[in-house]
Chain A
Amino acid sequence: MSGDHGSAAIAGRVRHVEALLEQRGLLDDGEIDRRIDEFLAGGSPINGARIVVRAWLDAGFHDRLLADANATIREVGLSMAGGLQEQRLKVVANNEQEHNVVVCTLCSCYPIALLGPSPSWYKSEAYRSRVVRDPRGVLHEFGLKLPADTRISVWDASAESRYMVVPRRPTGTDGFSESELVGLVTRKGLIGTAAV
């Protein structure tokens, strides 16, 4: 849809609306750039990886996290309150019997304040429509082949509730340091479209 010409046209329209709002006192000089910088400096998948690794290493933290994620992530200095409004976070953990995957069928709800922007595929109609109907097939397309007897739970995020997955700790990582473990956890693992 949006080739170079389309992109230039909408860029001009956005600049025009910004100028109009500045004229009407609804936008401060430099506010847009400041807000973009804040956004990009905010959430990151590293935050999720730190939470996951703490849960791997500390069974008490793991249980508290699953019971009350909003309170428990504060133990590692993180919060769901960084965005426009604090959202409820529910953390679900994969195990031998069950794999979890997160979607927002209605749009794009995602713990942005904690994890940063979501990938484009997460916001696509293809993912949103299909992962609830055929989760096993969609995960297979992502290269994640789960055993036939693994139950798959799909969590549909909403305006007030966000989800994050704790992947299973990979085998053979017993001697890994905390930072090495953090390096194993990917954004897709936190959504549930990758094993870790």
Chain B
Amino acid sequence: MSRINDVGGMVGFPAVLEEPDEPPFHADWEAHVLALNAALIRRGVYNLDEFRDAIERMPPADYLAASYYERWFAAITTLLAAKGVATAAELAGQEGLPTAADPVAPSDLADD
């Protein structure tokens, strides 16, 4: 049984697009995701094979819609939840720790 990442020989994908002089990362968060993954593997939170597996078992539609480092981040959060480091809700910022990108408006808090 092949998974969605096993695209060798699959038909229907378009011509290869080259980006001249492309930078190593297209946004700071991509570099952070790479470093985060290295840090967690070095600490033994999970290993490289578990990381690959977590990417490869993404739901096919999610896999194809995600960029390269979006897949990495999805795999990291999947594994952190599976290993019991944090709950999915904590990782998504739904409990405590509001994120800068996802601020909780004071009016929302007042409604509770």
A10 to B71, CA, bound (A): 11
A125 to B6, CA, bound (A): 9
Query: B67: which of A1, A19, A108 is its contact (CB, 8 Å)?
Result: A1
A60 to B28, CA, bound (A): 44
Assuming A129-B9, A159-B52, is B29 touching A14 (CB within 8 A)?
A: yes
Assuming A39-B34, A116-B24, A133-B11, is B16 touching A13 (CB within 8 A)?
A: no
- Kindly provide the distance from the CB of A109 to the nearest chain B CB, expressed in whole angstroms: 9
In this complex, the interface size class of chain A, counting residues with CB under 8 Å from chain B, is 35 or more
Contact check, A36 vs B34: say whether CB atoms are below 8 A apart: yes
Question: Which B residues lie within 8 Å of A173 (CB)?
Answer: none
- Kindly provide the distance from the CB of A134 to the nearest chain B CB, expressed in whole angstroms: 10
Q: Is B82 an interface residue (CB 8 A)?
A: no
Question: Residue of A at shortest CB range from B77?
Answer: A17
Question: Which B residues lie within 8 Å of A32 (CB)?
Answer: 32, 35-36, 39
A15 to B50, CA, bound (A): 23
- Kindly provide the distance from the CB of B36 to the nearest chain A CB, expressed in whole angstroms: 6
Q: Is A58 an interface residue (CB 8 A)?
A: no
In this complex, the interface size class of chain B, counting residues with CB under 8 Å from chain A, is 35 or more
- Kindly provide the distance from the CB of A17 to the nearest chain B CB, expressed in whole angstroms: 6
Contact check, B41 vs A120: say whether CB atoms are below 8 A apart: no
A108 to B65, CA, bound (A): 17
Question: Residue of B at shortest CB range from A20?
Answer: B86
Question: Which A residues lie within 8 Å of B10 (CB)?
Answer: 125, 129
Contact check, A120 vs B19: say whether CB atoms are below 8 A apart: yes
Q: Provide the main secondary structure of the chain A interface.
A: helix
Contact check, A17 vs B68: say whether CB atoms are below 8 A apart: no
- Kindly provide the distance from the CB of A14 to the nearest chain B CB, expressed in whole angstroms: 5
Q: Is A149 an interface residue (CB 8 A)?
A: no
Question: Residue of A at shortest CB range from B12?
Answer: A129
Question: Residue of B at shortest CB range from A132?
Answer: B8
Contact check, A13 vs B24: say whether CB atoms are below 8 A apart: no
- A78-94: CB near B (< 8 Å → 1, else 0) gives 00000011000000000
Assuming A36-B35, A119-B19, A142-B16, is B97 touching A20 (CB within 8 A)?
A: yes
Question: Which B residues lie within 8 Å of A64 (CB)?
Answer: none
Contact check, A130 vs B73: say whether CB atoms are below 8 A apart: no
Q: Is B45 an interface residue (CB 8 A)?
A: yes
What are 14 sample pairs from A and B whose C-beta atoms fall under 8 A apart? A1-B67, A7-B27, A13-B93, A18-B32, A18-B36, A36-B32, A84-B48, A119-B18, A123-B68, A124-B13, A125-B13, A133-B9, A141-B16, A159-B52
